[in-house]
């Protein structure tokens, strides 16, 4: 059974969508004006690319990370305070009476046992998203328009809601544009809908890598609360509306990602320098980090800068 499922999944290769031809093939006719506006919203105001990543040489529309976006949180609301208190006092989650719905809503916590993982689920790819309704991990949202509405409202509030989930204040047209963009992520299809295409069709001869976003300076301040304020200066040429530095990530001693900030409206100084500012919280044991900027087109590929964290 496992081999049969694996063999089937290997045929589900999605690519050469209208988005791919527009973004990688540089064929601007492939997206409608509405879908093109949706792409910009996806990467900026909508904050979608914070998790559904698009880089200069690939677009998986996922980041292999886990987030609490509020789905199913209502099931835990009546017992969440008691549940967390019991865990902190040493009780195991198996000893706490939960309904099946509540156990499902625990998400990644059921694997890791880490309290901060309560309600977290893995980011799915958005490729072929128009073909895969219903949506969310529990199938509770029926249409793409409803998905956009859910995020526009800022999800369902809960103690573990990810900081990247907040009200977006989208207009009706912006909501329609985001849906139009997601509909453009459907890959080449044959056999009445089976997504089976040649790997070679994903390669575009006209793909040209842009210059990476290189960090040139990092200034860090420590607040009394223990949070750090980062001001990251990036040397990057201005190459149009879709080519800008929009965030940074902080890496630990082994290259592991400690945290990152993706900004909705990055502050742009006189080009070619871009300064990105953001506050982050880091483990108390961390004394030095490496910082790398993210370019909206390149992703996290530029030069990194090491910095020793201030102690006060």
- Phi first, then psi: give them for residue 15, nearest 5 degrees: -175, -175
Instruction: Look at residue 8 in the predicted model and tell me its pLDDT.
Output: 72
pLDDT in tens, 160-173: 999 889 999 999 99
- Check residue 80 and give its pLDDT: 92
pLDDT tens-digit map of 22-49: 998 889 999 999 999 999 999 999 999 9
Q: How many helices (H) and strands (E) does the chain have?
A: 9, 9
Bridge partners, 273 (sequence order): 235
Please tell me the predicted confidence (pLDDT) of residue 198.
Answer: 31
Measured distance CA(37)–CA(31) in Å, rounded: 9
pLDDT score recorded for residue 91: 79
Residue 76 has a pLDDT of 93
CB neighbour class for 30 (10 Å; exposed up to 12, middle 13-18, buried from 19):
middle
Q: Output the pLDDT for position 189.
A: 55
HSE (CB half, 13 Å, CA atoms) of 259? Answer: 16
Distance CA 300, CA 283 (A): 22
SS3 145: helix
Least confident of 32-36, 85-89, 210-214, 222-226: 210-214
Which residues are registered as beta bridge partners of 122?
A: 66
Is the domain covering 11-66+122-202 a CATH 1.10.760.10 domain? yes
Q: What is the model's pLDDT at position 119?
A: 95
What pLDDT sits at residue 36? Answer: 95
Give pLDDT, residue 297: 61
Q: Convert the pLDDT of each residue in 257-281 to its tens digit.
A: 888 887 655 444 444 556 777 788 8
Mean pLDDT over the full length of the chain: 82
Higher pLDDT: 190 or 77? It is: 77
Token output for 93: 């989650």
Determine the pLDDT at residue 200: 32
Percent of the chain with pLDDT over 70: 82
Question: Which sequence spans correspond to the domains of the chain?
Answer: 11-66+122-202, 73-118, 214-308
Pick 214-308's CATH classification: 3.10.20.30, 3.40.250.10, 2.60.40.150, 3.40.50.1980: 2.60.40.150
Q: Is the dihedral of CA 39, 40, 41, 44 positive or negative?
A: positive
Strands (E), the chain: 66-67, 121-122, 214-222, 228-235, 245-251, 257-262, 273-280, 288-295, 305-308
Task: Render pLDDT for 75-100 as a digit per residue (tens, 0 to 9).
Answer: 999 999 999 998 888 877 677 888 99
User: What is the model's pLDDT at position 145?
Assistant: 97
Least confident interval from 46-50, 56-60, 148-152, 195-199 = 195-199
214: which strand partners?
235
Q: What is the rounded distance in angstroms from the CA atom of residue 101 to the CA atom of residue 119? A: 12
Q: What is the CA radius of gyration of the chain?
A: 21
pLDDT computed for residue 240 by the predictor = 45
Distance, CA of 236 to CA of 199 (rounded, Å): 32
Q: How much is the pLDDT for 204?
A: 31
Average pLDDT estimate for 9-20:
79
Chain centre to alpha carbon of residue 206: 27
In DSSP terms, which residues pair with 293 in a beta bridge? 248
pLDDT at 269: 44
Q: Across residues 90-119, what is the average pLDDT?
A: 88
What ranges in 106-250 are assigned the alpha helix state H?
Answer: 109-112, 144-152, 172-183
What confidence category does residue 11 fall into, taking pLDDT thresholds of 50, 70 and 90?
A: low
């Amino acid at each position: 059974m496992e081999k049969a499922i694996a063999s089937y999944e290997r045929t589900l290769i999605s690519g050469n969508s209208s988005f791919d031809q527009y973004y990688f093939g540089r064929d601007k006719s492939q997206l409608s004006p509405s879908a093109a506006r949706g792409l910009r919203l996806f990467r900026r105001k909508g904050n979608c690319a914070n998790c559904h990543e698009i880089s200069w040489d690939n677009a998986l529309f996922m980041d292999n990370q886990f987030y609490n976006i509020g789905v199913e949180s209502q099931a835990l609301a009546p017992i969440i305070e008691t549940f967390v208190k019991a865990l902190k006092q040493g009780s195991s989650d198996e000893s706490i009476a939960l309904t099946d719905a509540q156990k499902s809503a625990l998400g990644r916590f059921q694997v890791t046992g880490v309290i901060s993982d309560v309600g977290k689920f893995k980011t799915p790819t958005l490729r072929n998203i128009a073909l895969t309704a219903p949506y969310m991990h529990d199938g509770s949202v029926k249409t793409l328009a409803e998905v956009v509405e859910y995020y526009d409202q800022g999800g369902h509030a809960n103690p573990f809601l990810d900081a990247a989930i907040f009200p977006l204040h989208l207009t009706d047209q912006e909501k329609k544009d985001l849906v139009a963009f997601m509909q453009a992520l459907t890959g080449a299809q044959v056999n009445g809908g089976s997504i089976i295409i040649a790997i070679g069709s994903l390669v575009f001869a006209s793909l040209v890598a842009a210059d990476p976003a290189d960090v040139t300076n990092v200034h860090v301040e420590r607040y009394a609360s223990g949070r750090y304020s980062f001001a990251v200066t990036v040397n990057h040429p201005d190459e149009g509306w879709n080519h800008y530095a929009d965030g940074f990530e902080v890496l630990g001693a082994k290259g592991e990602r400690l945290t990152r900030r993706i900004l909705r409206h990055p502050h742009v100084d006189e080009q070619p320098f871009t300064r990105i500012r953001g506050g982050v919280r880091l483990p108390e044991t961390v004394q030095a980090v490496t910082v790398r900027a993210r370019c909206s087109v390149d992703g996290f590929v530029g030069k990194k800068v090491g910095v020793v964290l201030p102690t006060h």
